[in-house]
Copies of this chain bind each other. A is one copy, B any other.
Amino acid sequence: MAVRLEKNPAVSKQALRRMPAYLLYLEALNPTTVVSISATTIANELGLNEVQVRKDLAAASLSGGRPRTGFKVKELIRDIKSYLGYDDVYNAVIIGTGKLGQALLSYQGFAEYGLDIVAAFDTNPELIGQQFNRKPVYPPEKMPEICRSLKIQIGIITVPAEYAQDACDHLTESGIQAIWNFAPVLLTAPPEIIVQNENMAISLAILSQHLSVKLKKQH
């Protein structure tokens, strides 16, 4: 996982957010019937501005598109993946094997994003020693040892809100570099630790805003 910041100076955060959508769209195409695709088509299908899509694709694509024919789908998929850093693999552990933790452990799709979840931790003695998707559950005491020996870079927090800060502290002491936090809590971590929050409240607020506007119109 390594985003090509060097090449194109204009790697906007916004563009980064749109890339996964391009990828989903391109991967849903039938590769035998659709060999090439234009930025225009993608823009229309996704409801985006044509020039915006063209700039985004130009930033990600190594060989660029061709006038008249557009971009080669296969190449473009490969380039966007590389642009998003899905080629390099990071090792991760999950803290908290409740239902959400189990769901993430069992999800096969992370491999494609360069995320390799190798183990989990939980305090529940009934879960310790079990495996989910062939990934073992360890007691929290083993965190420092396992994170260091398996060279874990990312800790994924899926414990209930009240234990999230503890989990964060434990992970920090275990030498990880980044935290992906699914608990609805603002974590306090040393500045060198990267914290990315998966905040469902944001999605929900945006959805609810659109919905309220829509329902008002119906009256």
Residues of B within 8 A of A114 (CB): 208
Interface size on A, residues (CB 8 A): 63
Which secondary structure characterizes the binding site on chain A?
A: helix
- Interchain CA distance A137-B133 in the complex, whole Å: 25
Q: What residues on B are CB-neighbors of A206 within 8 Å?
A: 13, 16-17, 196
Are A2 and B202 in contact, CB atoms less than 8 angstroms apart?
no
A196-B203 CB under 8 A given contacts A102-B99, A208-B90: yes
Give the residue name and chain of the B residue nearest to A205 (CB).
Answer: B84
Q: Which residues of A come within 8 Å of B, CB atoms?
A: 1-3, 5, 13, 16-17, 19-21, 23-25, 28, 46, 84-86, 88, 90, 98-100, 102-103, 106, 109-110, 113-115, 153-154, 161, 177-178, 180, 184-186, 192, 194, 196-216
Please list the 8 inter-chain residue pairs (A to B) with the smallest Cβ-Cβ separation, ordered nearest first: A1-B208, A99-B103, A2-B212, A196-B207, A20-B201, A100-B103, A3-B209, A85-B208
Chain B's nearest CB lies how many Å from the CB of A219?
Answer: 12
20 interchain pairs (CB within 8 A)? A1-B211, A3-B212, A5-B213, A16-B205, A21-B197, A24-B184, A24-B185, A24-B186, A84-B201, A84-B208, A86-B208, A98-B103, A99-B106, A100-B103, A113-B201, A113-B208, A154-B207, A177-B211, A194-B207, A196-B206
